[in-house]
Amino acid sequence: MFDATTILAYRGANKAVIGGDGQVTFGNTILKGNATKIRTLYKDQILAGFAGSTADAFNLFDMFEEHLNSCKGDLLKSVIAFSKEWRKDKVLRRLEAMMIVLNKEKIFILSGTGDVVEPEDGAIASIGSGGNFAISAARALVKHSTLDEEEVVLESLMIAGELCIYTNQNIKILKIED
């Protein structure tokens, strides 16, 4: 995990939602508090978020979007092709970033070592230094509340922002609805 941010994604019954905080740190200094680390891709059908080096992440977003376009938006084929390229390229392997990508059907974590991980429950994933706080909160809220997908992501990231020094409570959220 990176000492950089918190990204949380939740693929529920009615919506796919991703959220992230806005803090950018450099060592023990906060450089920016309102960064955007999530975006929509491929005709607003895919959501993506990153943790790690900002410059590296922009590179990865662009590369992943190229794979989405060549695979006509097929998320599974895109993550596999992207992972192969990331793992084989000597320059890319040195990039310090992770990504979460999801649509209404699938959710994946993409690591800087070329790993593609589909969460065991297929519904909730997190990355970044506050990721464990956020995913713990999300699992509890999904199980013990009536909050919708967007509310679960927002509340979970707010909790992570209270606990992780590399995460703030300036939360941005994107969603795909039916």
Q: H or E segment at 85?
A: helix 75-88
Cα–Cα distance between 58 and 54 in angstroms, integer? 6
Angle made by CA atoms 112, 60, 71, in degrees to the nearest 5: 105
Q: H or E segment at 151?
A: helix 149-163
Of the candidates 168, 158, 173, 157, the residue with the CA atom closest to the CA atom of residue 4:
168
Tell whether residue 167 is among the known ligand binding residues: yes
Tell whether residue 27 is among the known ligand binding residues: no
Cα–Cα distance between 23 and 25 in angstroms, integer? 6
Cα–Cα distance between 53 and 24 in angstroms, integer? 9
Tell whether residue 71 is among the known ligand binding residues: no
Active site members: 5
**Token pair for residue 47?**
């959501």
Cα–Cα distance between 177 and 13 in angstroms, integer? 10
Point out the annotated binding site for Na(+).
161, 164, 167
